[in-house]
């Protein structure tokens, strides 16, 4: 009886603790004041899921966790940066924002601009933005222009436009984006009560790896016992400017989110690698798809770019010390890119079947 009451009370408490969004939750670590109009869709507080399957693949009593940031309001980690960028843009009296995007930034910018009552403009590479992301930008009311070139060119153009006209740039050159995104590192430490030995993360413009590192470092100021993780950044081999230390003129990968040849945060990323004694490596599209399927086989559906973190982890299996704790960041939701999922799965899918019980039960092998 007493136990039942306690259980009921606990349950009620779960519901009572409403997550206020990441700016409210981590206000003291963020450059906001009582004057900042907070534009939030209650982003953040995403699950840290233990992957039994990946822990088993890596072996040696290693625990592999997935930071599933695809469960943010628009389905990617970009919401963390955008709640900050849009709130600050609004505070500064700006009325319109602009970004170049491989898809997720545009979805988040459009959604938060809509929530904050701002206009949004989006430049995307024609034909290389996944359907879900394009659908979002259009539905949230962005004005979308697709250009006959790649992301890098689009970014060059929006940077110039934002200098010439009264529009705020919300790509990750905007420092508020990094501020918002660093909260994912806070959440990981809050959940684990320590920081992981490795953080595996996909890299495009390298804003997110920069943000995570900033987050871990800031938390370590508060908690001196915190040992910082090695930052392991992964790119697709067809689009690996940070691994090869070059500009890739024609980046090419199935992971369109990270189809970026000239990352804007290159120097910051190099510093992260050095300070954290981490590493940057490339993974092939085949390895990305294989990781994508392993994740889905355990009920976690992420987009191909996100699976690069897991592909990278698997590639480094033999370097991992026993009893390590590893976090792989799953940056975006699998539903963002349904075409990729439909083309790359091992499911049995029989089409145009007559609706006949006998026929269907035979097909199912009964
Ligand atoms: C799912 O949306 O650059 O290294 O324009 O969508 O911080 O650039 C997306 C990047 C990883 C890479 N995973 O992050 C854009 C864009 C997903 C992404 C990245 C992106 P950064």
SS (H, E, C) 101-122: CCCHHHHHHHHHHHHHCCEEEE
Q: How far is the CA of 258 from the centre of ligand 1 (A)?
A: 6
Q: Please state at what angle helix 131-139 crosses helix 104-116, rounded to 10 degrees.
A: 20
- Which pTM was predicted? 0.96
Q: Please state at what angle helix 207-222 crosses helix 183-192, rounded to 10 degrees.
A: 50
Q: What does each of the 366 residues of the chain score in pLDDT, given as a tens digit?
A: 666 767 666 666 776 679 999 999 999 999 999 999 999 999 999 999 999 999 999 999 999 999 999 999 999 999 999 999 999 999 999 999 999 999 999 999 999 999 999 999 999 999 999 999 999 999 999 999 999 999 999 999 999 999 999 999 999 999 999 999 999 999 999 999 999 999 999 999 999 999 999 999 999 999 999 999 999 999 999 999 999 999 999 999 999 999 999 999 999 999 999 999 999 999 999 999 999 999 999 999 999 999 999 999 999 999 999 999 999 999 999 999 999 999 999 999 999 999 999 999 999 999
Question: How far apart are alpha carbons 144 and 132 in whole angstroms?
Answer: 14
Q: Please state at what angle helix 78-91 crosses helix 104-116, rounded to 10 degrees.
A: 40
* Residue bearing tokens 């940056």: 331
Instruction: For ligand 1, say whether the CB of 303 is within 6 Å of any of its atoms.
Output: yes
Residues 6+ apart with CB under 8 A from 345: 293, 296
pLDDT of residue 4: 73
**Partners of residue 326 on adjacent β-strands:** 64, 198
Nearest CA to ligand 1 atom 10: 257
Locate 110 and state its tokens: 């459009």
Q: What is the CA radius of gyration of the chain?
A: 21
Instruction: For ligand 1, say whether the CB of 103 is within 6 Å of any of its atoms.
Output: yes
Question: How far apart are alpha carbons 26 and 42 in whole angstroms?
Answer: 12
Q: Which of 278, 173, 179 is nearest to 233 (CA)?
A: 278
Q: Are 221 and 215 in contact (CB under 8 A)?
A: no
Instruction: For ligand 1, say whether the CB of 239 is within 6 Å of any of its atoms.
Output: no
Q: How far is the CA of 256 from the centre of ligand 1 (A)?
A: 9
Instruction: For ligand 1, say whether the CB of 304 is within 6 Å of any of its atoms.
Output: no
Q: Which of 49, 11, 39, 301 is nearest to 187 (CA)?
A: 49
Question: How far apart are alpha carbons 182 and 302 in whole angstroms?
Answer: 20
Our mutation pick for probing the ligand 1 site, out of 99, 142, 258, counting the most ligand atoms within 8 A of Cβ, is 258
What are the C-alpha distances in Å from 306 to residues 44, 333, 342?
A: 17, 8, 17
pLDDT of residue 341: 98
Q: Are 183 and 32 in contact (CB under 8 A)?
A: no
Nearest CA to ligand 1 atom 5: 101
């Amino acid at each position: 009886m007493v136990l039942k009451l306690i259980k009921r009370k606990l349950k009620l408490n779960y519901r009572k603790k409403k997550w206020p969004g990441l700016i409210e939750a981590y206000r003291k670590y963020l450059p906001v004041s009582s004057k900042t109009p907070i534009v939030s869709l209650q982003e953040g507080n995403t699950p840290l899921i233990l992957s039994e399957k990946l822990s088993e693949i890596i072996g040696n009593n290693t625990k592999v966790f997935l930071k599933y940031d695809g469960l943010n309001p628009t389905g990617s980690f970009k919401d963390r940066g955008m709640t900050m960028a849009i709130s600050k843009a609004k505070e500064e009296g700006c009325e319109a924002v602009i970004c170049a995007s491989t898809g997720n930034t545009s979805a988040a910018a459009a959604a938060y601009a809509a929530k904050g009552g701002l206009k949004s403009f989006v430049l995307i590479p024609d034909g290389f933005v996944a359907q879900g992301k394009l659908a979002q930008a259009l539905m949230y009311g962005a004005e979308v222009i697709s250009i006959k070139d790649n992301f890098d060119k689009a970014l060059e153009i929006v940077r110039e436009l934002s200098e010439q006209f009264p529009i705020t740039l919300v790509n990750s050159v905007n420092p508020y984006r990094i501020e918002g995104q660093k909260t994912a590192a806070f959440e990981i430490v809050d959940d684990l009560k320590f920081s992981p030995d490795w953080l595996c993360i996909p890299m495009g413009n390298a804003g997110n790896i920069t943000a995570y590192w900033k987050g871990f470092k800031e938390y370590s100021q508060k908690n001196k016992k915190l040992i910082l993780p090695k930052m392991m950044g992964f790119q697709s081999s067809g689009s690996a400017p940070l691994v090869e230390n070059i500009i890739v003129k024609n980046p090419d990968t199935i992971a369109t989110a990270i189809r970026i040849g000239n990352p804007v945060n290159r120097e910051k990323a190099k510093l992260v690698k050095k300070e954290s004694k981490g590493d940057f490596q490339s993974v092939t599209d085949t390895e990305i798809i294989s990781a994508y399927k392993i994740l889905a086989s355990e009920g976690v559906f992420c987009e191909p770019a996100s699976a690069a973190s897991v592909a990278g982890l698997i590639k480094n299996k033999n370097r991992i010390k026993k009893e390590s704790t590893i976090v792989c960041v799953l940056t975006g939701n699998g539903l963002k890119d349904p075409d990729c999922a439909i083309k790359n799965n091992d499911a049995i899918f029989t089409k145009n079947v007559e609706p006949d019980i006998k026929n269907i039960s035979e097909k199912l092998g009964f």
